[in-house]
Amino acid sequence: MRRLALSVSVAVAFCIFCLICLDALLHLTHYDALVPTSTAAKGYFMVGGPTGVDIAPNYPKTHMDLFDSPFDIWSNSLGCFDTPFDEEHDIPFVYLAGDSYTWGYASFEDKWGTLMEKILHTRILKCGVPGTGTAQELAKAEQTLDRIQRTPELIVLGYTATDPFDDMNPHSQSSCGTISQPCWPLVTFLSGHSVLYNMNRALFGSFLDSTFRPMADDLYGPNFKALSSFAKLAHLRHSQFLVVLIPSKKSIEAKNKDLAFLKQRHFLRNAHIPFMDLTEEFRNFYSETGVPLYWKHDPHLNILGNEMTALLVSKYIVEHHLLAQKNSY
């Protein structure tokens, strides 16, 4: 029995050693761009302050070597991945908040915020920040709007299923933990260092999340409070407010129900907060066409996903008269 256990241990150790060697070799190839820490621009993100994590203001144009689609990033004086905001002439405007799905992971011209700006013919201040939750996005919005001393006609919040995790882990670029369910170090390490893990993120991520990172009921409380505060901010500033629920790649391509949105939708309805859920439209499109709305390796929206998001959100805004004198698009 001991001999069998020893043989199994040696075999497992050998397999792990081979995987480590393979991963090290992949780092020497173009697949290294799959690892987020290999593509992040140094100094682009700041940790600390009221927002927890933010984008450094006035960051110069820098190339981001994303594996699926490399693109340039920068920031304006407000710490937003956007062109400079003219406080005198960029009125009226829409304030767009959110995490990495709103920030982009695509070229500036292909981001859904930029596309909405063209569709609606209205300036959209695009201030999504990767790795943030609703609470940090609220702090960013308060800070930015106080600075420019202007009231947006509409505040749009891009919301994803990771927002509750990020609310509980505000000083991290990953949504890997909560106060009651601390971040599991191996998930964080693999995501930030392993090419093999990121190549098979859908498989590994789903297993690790379901095994080590279940969503606790007490996770929703702080996030719902932040959503209510966002709605209150819009009310106090006499702005319209819209929450856009953006589904994950897994929930669309694997046809799994995004359980987080079930509670979110229930809360938003009861709180009378306007929202739209893109899940059904995305799922129907993918099931009928088989054309992906997300990058092949990266979990974020691809160019078509950004286009579809821009069209659906713009259509909702026009049909629900959330912008003055916008009756068509």
How is the chain split among helix, strand and coil, in percent rounded to 5? Answer: 50, 10, 40
Per the structure, the count of domains in the chain is: 1
* Domain contains 4: no
The reported pLDDT for the residue numbered 197 is: 63
Per the domain annotation, does 271 fall within a domain? yes
Highest mean pLDDT among 62-66, 198-202, 223-227: 223-227
Residue 13 has pLDDT above 50, yes or no: yes
Q: Give the pLDDT of residue 8.
A: 61
Beta bridge partners, 155, equal: 95, 241
Residue 262 belongs to domain with CATH number:
3.40.50.1110
pLDDT for 328: 52
pLDDT at 169: 64
CA dihedral for 167, 125, 296, 261, sign (positive or negative):
positive
What value does the mean pLDDT of the chain take? Answer: 82
Residue 232 one-letter amino acid: K
Q: Which residue has the higher pLDDT, 68 or 110?
A: 110
Q: Looking at the domain assignment, is residue 8 inside a domain?
A: no
| 92-119 tens-digit pLDDT | 999 999 999 999 899 999 999 999 999 9
Helices (H), 97-133: 100-103, 112-120
Evaluate whether residue 13 is within a structural domain: no
Question: Percent of the chain having pLDDT more than 70?
Answer: 72
Q: What is the pLDDT of residues 151-177, one digit of tens each?
A: 999 999 999 998 988 887 655 444 443
Which among 34-43, 75-84, 86-95 has the top mean pLDDT? 75-84
Point out the least confidently predicted range of 136-140, 220-224, 253-257. Answer: 253-257
For residue 148, give the amino acid letter. I
Q: Is 329 exposed, middle or buried (0-12, 13-18, 19+ CB in 10 A)?
A: middle
Amino acid identity of 267?
F
Given a cut of 60, whether residue 70 has pLDDT beyond it is: yes
Q: Which residue has the higher pLDDT, 40 or 77?
A: 77
| Assigned domain for 260 exists | yes
Structure tokens at 328: 């068509």
Mean per-residue pLDDT for 187-205? 58
Q: Flag whether 12 is in a domain.
A: no
Find the angle CA(5)-CA(186)-CA(218) to the nearest 5 degrees: 120
Give me the pLDDT at residue 49, please. Answer: 72
- Model pTM? 0.81
Whether residue 276 contacts residue 245, with contact meaning beta carbons closer than 8 Å, is answered with yes
Q: Is residue 40 part of a domain?
A: yes
pLDDT at 324 over 90: no
**Domain enclosing residue 102, as ranges:** 35-319
pLDDT score recorded for residue 196:
63
Residue whose tokens read 């939750």: 133
Task: Give 75 or 212, the one with higher predicted confidence.
Answer: 75
What is the pLDDT, as a whole number, of residue 11? 65
The answer as to whether 27 is a domain residue is no
Helix 201-212 × helix 185-193 angle, to 10°: 170
